[in-house]
Amino acid sequence: MGELLSELIKLLMIYLPAMVANASPVFLKKGTPVDFGKLFIDGRRILGDGKTWEGLLLGLWFGGTVALSLWLLTSDLDYFVYGLVGSLGALLGDMLFSFIKRRLGLERGAPLPLADQLDFFLGATALMMALGWRPKMEYWIIAGVIIVGLHVTANRIAYMLKLKDVPW
């Protein structure tokens, strides 16, 4: 049990910057859309008004700050490197699923179960693994379940605090 707990704590610390990066843009209500209002070949917005340059930069700033803090606290450079890359991956994963939702004809704020909860986690994981990170699969799955649970809880709290228009 000691090894499992230790590995889960490490995984949660690796993902913490990505979770913070993903949650940060909610503090901005307006900004310049990443897609600049352009339409895709299907006539729908590429991403929509909810994905902004300001939100992207704020997410990277907050996620990067957490990654830097973890490195300084632990002296383990991996927390900084994977935390920073994971932050970018989380934001890009969120944008990718926004793109997919627009292709499906879903408007901003419309739910897409599982995708809404996994987008940032999968994006963060993909970029960290592209950089060489290799977590043990069984620990990664358990951490994923915990992280998705934290994500759902954080979104509901943000919704109750009127920081988000929808609880997902």
Tell me, yes or no, whether 69 lies in a domain: yes
User: What is the chain's mean pLDDT, rounded?
Assistant: 93
Tell me, yes or no, whether 167 lies in a domain: no
Q: Give the mean model confidence (pLDDT) for residues 113-128.
A: 92
Give the tokens for residue 12: 């949660």
pLDDT digits (tens, 9 = 90+) for 132-150: 999 989 888 998 899 889 8
Question: In the prediction, which pLDDT does 95 show?
Answer: 97
pLDDT digits (tens, 9 = 90+) for 62-112: 999 999 999 999 999 999 999 999 999 999 999 999 999 999 999 888 889
* Residue 167 three-state SS: coil
Tell me, yes or no, whether 166 lies in a domain: no
Tell me, yes or no, whether 168 lies in a domain: no
CA distances for 21 relative to 6, 41, 62, angstroms = 24, 30, 6
Tell me, yes or no, whether 44 lies in a domain: yes
How many domains in the chain?
Answer: 1
Q: Is the pTM of this model over 0.85?
A: yes
- Which residue, among 85, 66, 84, has the nearest Cα to 74 in the 3D structure? 66
Tell me, yes or no, whether 101 lies in a domain: yes
For 61-99, letters b (16+ CB in 10 Å) and e give: ebbbbbbeebbeeeeeebbbbbbbbbbbbbbbbbbbbbb
Give the tokens for residue 13: 């610390």
Q: Which domain holds residue 137?
A: 2-160
Question: In the prediction, which pLDDT does 78 show?
Answer: 96
